[in-house]
Amino acid sequence: MGQNNSLSNRILYQVKGKISIITLNQPDKLNALGGDDYTYLAKLMEKSNKDPSTVITLINSSGRYFSSGADYKFIKKYHELINDKKNDEKEIERQNDRFWFNDFIPRNSYLTDCFINHGKIIVACLNGPAIGLSAAMVALSDIIYSKNDDTFLLYPFTKIGLVTEGSTSYSLLLRLGLSRTNEALLLSKPIYNKDLVSCGFVNKCYNMDDYNKKDQVEVNKSTEKFNELILNELSDSVKFLNGDSIKDIKKLINSNIRLYYNSANSKEVIQGYKKWLTGVPQRQFINLANKNIKHKL
Ligand code: CO8
């Protein structure tokens, strides 16, 4: 991948025919996303929504993971800045409150809103696992494809001391059913590809082998092949369809669901903000960054 680490290189945007394509492009860090990346992803969703030439917003990724969720280095960096030795206890408390109020609430609710209220067909291509807030955006997509059985979704909010994000308190219920949702959200258990396919969360698994999973170049190549295959199939599917009908029908399918999604979004960000004020999530992210804790997969 390129050396240029600008936002527009970390998340790529292109238009091919009737499809806007958003590509997560940081395979070396398993496509973990920092605060600015999530905001940029939301902006790209808006850009695609406004483009009159496309009817599908396709989100794909690179390497072996779709996305490992929030970038723990981003959270660690801000935690250390706020907890600078020069700040007394009151100042730390004030800065902590200001940061999470100004940073967390608007970003998470804006990103989630951009997915909930998106007018085009959102297609997510799972080249591998998705975790946390990124996995929440997958659950808000309209059509979901997976590459092979290496794929899983993990929502480790109870492990990190957070609450549900990205309207997962409703989206998982809708897509997985109550029993599986309880396991996934209350016990932070991964949901593996076979279950995702069997309950209809994933529309289709392409069963593409990674020839040699240790060889990063081979994994990157097979992800590119997976992305290309889906792009070609979707281009064929929408070639002769009426774009306005697609958007109007999506609006009808989603009109009731959106009420619940919007309600979940606004409640989740307020409760999430209160969790950040306890300092517990920050400590858990630092533990993840220092590799002191691991998720059970
Ligand atoms: N953040 C930053 N870097 C990461 C992340 C991450 N989330 N995940 C992986 N990486 C990096 C690793 O540091 C490593 O880099 P390096 O080679 O330089 O050390 C590289 O990616 C490969 O990772 P691993 O060696 O750990 O690969 P493994 O296959 O052994 O493990 C895992 C993969 C299981 C995904 C492991 O990396 C992991 O547990 N990552 C953390 C996952 C996680 O908990 N994410 C947070 C989810 S919660 C969430 O998203 C809530 C959002 C809160 C809002 C925040 C606002 C911004």
Q: pLDDT by residue (tens digit) across 54-76?
A: 999 999 999 999 999 999 999 99
Closest C-alpha residue for ligand 1 atom 22: 29
Hey, what are 136's tokens?
A: 């929440």
Mutate to test the pocket of ligand 1, among 1, 5, 28, 30 (most ligand atoms within 8 A of CB): 30
Evaluate if residue 92 carries a pLDDT over 80.
Answer: yes
Which residue in 123, 204, 188 sits closest to 153, CA to CA?
Answer: 188
Hey, is 290 helix, strand or coil?
A: coil
- Determine the Cα–Cα distance for residues 25 and 76; give it in Å rounded to an integer: 22
274, 135, 158, 170: CA torsion to nearest 10 = 70
State both tokens at 33.
């996303």
* pLDDT for the residue numbered 153: 98
Predicted confidence (pLDDT) per residue in 239-290, tens digit:
999 999 999 999 999 999 999 999 999 999 999 999 999 999 999 999 999 9
Nearest Cα neighbor of 172 from 158, 159, 154 is 154
Query: Which amino acid residue places its CA nearest to atom 2 of ligand 1?
Result: 71
SS3 278: helix
* Of 196, 195, 136, nearest in space to 168 by CA: 136
Long-range contacts made by residues 216-221, C-beta under 8 angstroms, separation at least 24? 216/27, 216/63, 216/64, 219/63, 219/64, 220/27, 220/62, 220/63
User: How sure is the predictor about 86, in pLDDT bands with cuts at 50, 70 and 90?
Assistant: confident
Report how far ligand 1's centroid is from the alpha carbon of 77 (Å). 15
Rounded to an integer, what distance in angstroms lies between the CA atom of residue 221 and that of residue 258?
Answer: 37
Residues with beta carbon inside 6 Å of ligand 1? 29-30, 32, 35, 38, 68-73, 104, 131-133, 156, 160, 165, 288, 295
Render pLDDT for 200-216 as a digit per residue (tens, 0 to 9): 999 999 999 766 667 88
Pick from 1, 41, 66, 68 the residue to mutate for probing ligand 1's pocket: most ligand atoms within 8 Å of its CB.
68
Annotated catalytic residue: which of 165, 183, 224, 233?
A: 165
Q: How far apart are CA 61 and CA 69, in angstroms?
A: 13
| The dihedral sign for the CA sequence 205, 209, 214, 216 | negative
pLDDT at 84: 86
Average pLDDT over residues 3-11: 90
ipTM: 0.98
Band (pLDDT 50/70/90 cuts) for residue 218 is confident
Give the model's pLDDT for residue 14: 98
As a CATH number, domain 1-290 is: 3.90.226.10
Nearest CA to ligand 1 atom 54: 70
How far does residue 68's CA lie from ligand 1's centre (Å)?
A: 5
**Probe residue for ligand 1, chosen from 1, 29, 169 as the CB with the greatest number of ligand atoms within 8 Å:** 29
Active site residue 93: no
Helix, strand or coil, per DSSP, at residue 144: strand
The single residue listed with the structure tokens 């409150």 is 97
Q: Please give the model's pTM, rounded to 2 decimal places.
A: 0.97
- DSSP 3-state assignment of 129? coil
State both tokens at 100: 């999470």
